Amino acid sequence: MAPDPTPARPSRQRPRRPARSDRARMLLSCPDRPGIVAAVSQFLFAHGANIIRSDQHTTDPAGGTFFMRVEFDLEGFAARRETLSQAFSPVAAHLEMDWRLSGSEPVRRVAIFASREGHCLLELLWRWQAGELPCHITMVVANHDELRPVAEAWGVPFHLIPVRAGAKHEAEKAQLQLLGGGQTDLIVLARYMQILSPEFVTRYHGRIINIHHSFLPAFVGPQPYHQAFERGVKIIGATAHYVTAELDGGPIIEQDVQRVTHRDNPDDMRRGGRQIERAVLARAVRWHLEDRILLHGGRTVVFD
């Protein structure tokens, strides 16, 4: 397998902000019934919105759950958002919807947690600088100091918070102070090799994305490539998922695979796996930031 490519030297230029401040999205789920698409479309038309894209999915046409994502342009959306939400509430109540409106402003604030390995962190920073991730990366939080030069080279504040045996609570308390309560919209675990407490996970429910270096639910835990080698697998992969209290058991967002042979040892698999991990995590983060994901119990509906 080819080694990881050397990342390009980062630019000091700040990431581009979203180009369209009037672009907005509506995501919804509700019991399936006739007229849902018509009700949403007519509402948006009546308020002067121009629908750019509409995607739908139903779990079962006969009494299942209906999911919808609508992307639209509406002049002055940021100023009209609250009024629009109030106007749509009766429609949503009538159709028993779980729904939300979002726009490109304000830009979402993302914190990245890491440990020693930097391939996933570098991928996120590069895509952020290139304008592919519509967010502001506010900080890198790590339990080891190896990645400090990486974060600082990209102009991102780096915070070292060691996680010592028996002192996880103190470490998480310091992390929560940095995150600032409601000041962080998404946490990305970019190979952060620590288990978060149920209390921490509950506070950021649906807003923590992890990358696991195996094809879940197979080979959970810290050494999946050794497990895969022992089983003689012919495909390795990576899984991005939302974090829940169940270890590596949260709703899956994205996965990808790569073929291996009997000639590949665990180190070969690990090198190939890094390429998959960085791409899978970046896609999952982008889809979350673009409101393409709806949670449905222990599963996700991901609109492309």
Residues that are catalytic? 248
Query: Is 233 exposed, middle or buried (CB count within 10 Å of its CB: 0-12, 13-18, 19+)?
Result: buried
